[in-house]
Amino acid sequence: MSDNGHIIVGLEIGTSKVCAAVGELTETGELNVLGLGQAKSRGVRKGEILDAEKAGDDVRQALAEAEEMADVDIESVLLAVTGRHIECANYRGVHTIPSVDRAIGDEDVQLALRNAKSQSCPAGSEIIDSVRQDFIVDDHTVYDNPVGVVGGRLEARVHVIRGHANRLATSRQAVENAVPVRVEKPVFGGLASALAVLTTEQKQAGAVVVDLGAGTTEFAFFHQGLLRHSGVLAVGGDHVSNDLAYGLRILIPRAEELKLEHGTAVARPESAGVQVRGDSTSLHGGRGVSLEHLERIMSHRIEETLELVALRLREADALRMATAGVFLCGGAARTPGILEVARRIFQCPVHQGLVQGVSGPANVLENPEFVTAIGLLRYGAMRSRQRVQPNLLGKLRSLASLSSFRSFLF
C-alpha cells in the first residue's frame, strides 16, 4: 500500500458467502484491491440475517482474512444490503418559487429534492440512497439542472432506495457486535454490483446489471450516467437447488452439487436417457437420477427467474433503453448457457459482468461472486470524491458550466 492511499472496505453478507474486500484509493484516483476474505454464510436467508450470531462469526472470519491479505487494520466498512425489505422507486417533489421572475437557486433545488424524499420514507423505513434524476419547471420543460432558470413551479424527480429500519439495524449490529469495526453506511448490493461492472460510457449509453445470487437477485439500470431504476427479487440460485432436490427426490446438499457439476440453463437433447449418481445420501440410496429431468427442472427455474427480472425492467422501460445491454454477475451467472437464455428473454445484448477499472489479483477480479464487495469500493471512492466536490462545484459555477455537472448522489 502507498503511504497516501485512502483505505476503503466493502462487506457483503450474502446468502451463500460473506465477502470482504479491502481497497486502496490512490491520490491519482486509481482503485486497487489489496485484500479479499470470504467465509461460508450460515446466518442468512433470502438476503436477510436470521441468525445474527452466526452471521457475526462469518463476518469476523471474512474480515480477518481480508485484513491479513491486505496487511491493514480495518476500522470501518461499507455494508451491502439486500432482501425483500428493500424498496426502490421513483418519487416527485414540488417546490413553489415564492416570487415571480426569480431565477431558481440551489436552495429551491434542495427544497424540491427534500419534498420528494419526505414522501418516499414512511414510518419504520430508512432511506439508504437517493439519486436525483431531472427537474421539470412550469411548462414541462425538463432540465438536468434548473439553477438559473426563471420559473414558478419546480418539480424534482428522485430515485430512492430504502429499507426497513429494523432490518438495516440488524445487519449493522451483526457486524458491530462481532468485530471492533464501524459500519459507515449501508449500500444497496445491486447498486454496488452495477458500479463495479459498468464503465462511465455504458452508464451514459444505458445499461442494466443483474446480480444473480443464492437467495436474491438484484438489478440496477443506469442511463445518461445516473441510476434510474433498481430492485430486488427474493429468488436466486438456492431456488434452483431446492427445485432439484424436490423434483429429483434428493437432499439439498446433493442437489447443489449436481447443479454445479451438471447444471445448465438450456436443456440439451443429448442428455436424454443419461443417468447421474443420486448419491448414497439420497432418499433412495445410491440410485441414479435422470440428467434430462435435472436439466429440464433447472432451465425452467432459470427462465422463470429471468422472466421476473425482465418484467420489472420492462416496467421502467430499461430493456429498450439499455443500449449497452444487460450484464450478468453473481454466482448463478456462472450457469452454462445463461447468457443465451437471457438474450432470448431480454431481447437485447447480454454480457458476462466483469469488474472494470479496478486493479488487483486476477482471481479476485474475475470472480462473479465478488462483484458486490468490489463495487462497494467503487461506491466509497465516489463518495470520497464527492466530499471534495464543493470546491469543484464552486469552480464550475464560476465558469457558468454547471449544466454539464450531474451529481451521482445527493
Ligand X SMILES: Nc1ncnc2c1ncn2[C@@H]1O[C@H](COP(=O)(O)OP(=O)(O)O)[C@@H](O)[C@H]1O
Chain positions contacting Mg ion, by CB under 5 A: 14, 213, 372
Binding ligand X (rule: CB under 6 A), the pick from 146, 231, 325, 331 is: 331
Binding test (CB under 6 A) with ligand X, winner from 334, 343, 351, 383: 334
Q: By beta-carbon distance, which residue lies closest to Mg ion?
A: 213
Partner from ligand X, Mg ion, none contacting 238, C-beta within 5 to 8 A by type: ligand X
Question: Of Mg ion, ligand X, none, which one sits near residue 259, judging by CB under 5 to 8 A according to partner kind?
Answer: ligand X
- The residue (of 147 and 266) whose beta carbon lies closer to ligand X is 266
From the list Mg ion, ligand X, none, partner contacted by residue 16 (C-beta under 5 to 8 A by kind): ligand X
Q: How far is the CB of 373 from Mg ion (least distance, A)?
A: 9
Q: Which does 215 bind (CB under 5 to 8 A by kind): ligand X, Mg ion, none?
A: ligand X
- All 3 cell numbers of residue 26? 490512490
Q: Which of 130, 131, 171, 196 is nearest to 41 (CA)?
A: 171
Question: Which residue stretch of 48-56, 93-101, 114-122, 254-262 sits at the interface with ligand X (rule: CB under 6 A)?
Answer: 254-262
Question: Least distance to Mg ion from the beta carbon of 211, Å?
Answer: 6
Site for ligand X in 56-95 (CB under 6 A): none
* Shortest spacing between CB 398 and ligand X, in angstroms: 45
CA distances from 319 to 232, 344, 350, 408, 409 (A): 16, 12, 11, 22, 23
Q: Could you give the string, one character per residue 198-217, with x where binding to ligand X holds by CB under 6 A and - elsewhere?
A: ---------------xxx--
Nearest to 148 by CA among 139, 157, 158, 135: 135
Contact between 369 and ligand X per CB under 6 A = yes
x/- map, 15-44, ligand X, by CB under 6 A: xxx-----------------------x---
CB of 12 to ligand X, least distance (A): 6
**Residues in region 271-330 near ligand X by CB under 6 A:** 330
Q: What is the 3-state secondary structure (H, E, C) of the chain?
A: CCCCCEEEEEEEECCCEEEEEEEEECCCCCEEEEEEEEEECCCEECCEECCHHHHHHHHHHHHHHHHHHHCCCCCEEEEEECCCCCEEEEEEEEEECCCCCCECCHHHHHHHHHHHHHHCCCCCEEEEEEEEEEEEECCCEEECCCCCCECCEEEEEEEEEEEEHHHHHHHHHHHHCCCCCEEEEEEEHHHHHHHHHCCHHHHHHCEEEEEECCCCEEEEEEECCEEEEEEEECCCHHHHHHHHHHHHCCCHHHHHHHHHHHCCCCCCHHHCCCEEECCCCCCCCCCEEEHHHHHHHHHHHHHHHHHHHHHHHHHCCHHHHCCCEEEEECHHHHCCCHHHHHHHHHCCCEEECCCCCCECCHHHHCCHHHHHHHHHHHHHHHHHHHHCHHHHHHHHHHCCCHHHCCCCCC
Nearer to ligand X, 67 or 369 (CB): 369
Of the ranges 92-100, 234-242, 353-361, 388-396, which one interacts with ligand X (CB under 6 A)?
234-242
**332 in contact with ligand X (CB under 6 A):** yes
Amino acid making up residue 43: G
Candidates 115, 130, 230, 335; binder of ligand X (CB under 6 A) is: 335
Q: In the bound complex, what is the minimum distance in angstroms from residue 216's beta carbon to Mg ion?
A: 7
Measure the CA–CA gap between 333 and 351, rounded to whole angstroms. Answer: 10
**Residue 287 touches which of ligand X, Mg ion, none (CB < 5 to 8 A by kind)?**
none
User: Are 11 and 63 within 8 A, CB to CB?
Assistant: yes
Output the furthest CA–CA distance in the chain (Å, rounded).
83
* Number of residues counted as binding ligand X (CB under 6 A): 21
Stretch that binds ligand X, among 92-100, 253-261, 276-284, 286-294 (CB under 6 A): 253-261
Binding segment for ligand X (CB under 6 A), chosen from 26-34, 194-202, 256-264, 347-355, is: 256-264
CB of residue 232 to ligand X, shortest distance in Å: 11
Choose which of 35, 83, 151, 237 interacts with ligand X (CB under 6 A). 237
Contact predicate 135/146, CB 8 Å = yes
Smallest separation, CB 207 to ligand X (Å): 19
Instruction: Provide, rounded to whole angstroms, the least separation between the CB of residue 375 and Mg ion.
Output: 10
Interface residues with ligand X (CB under 6 A) are 14-17, 41, 213-215, 236-238, 256, 259-260, 263, 330-332, 334-335, 369
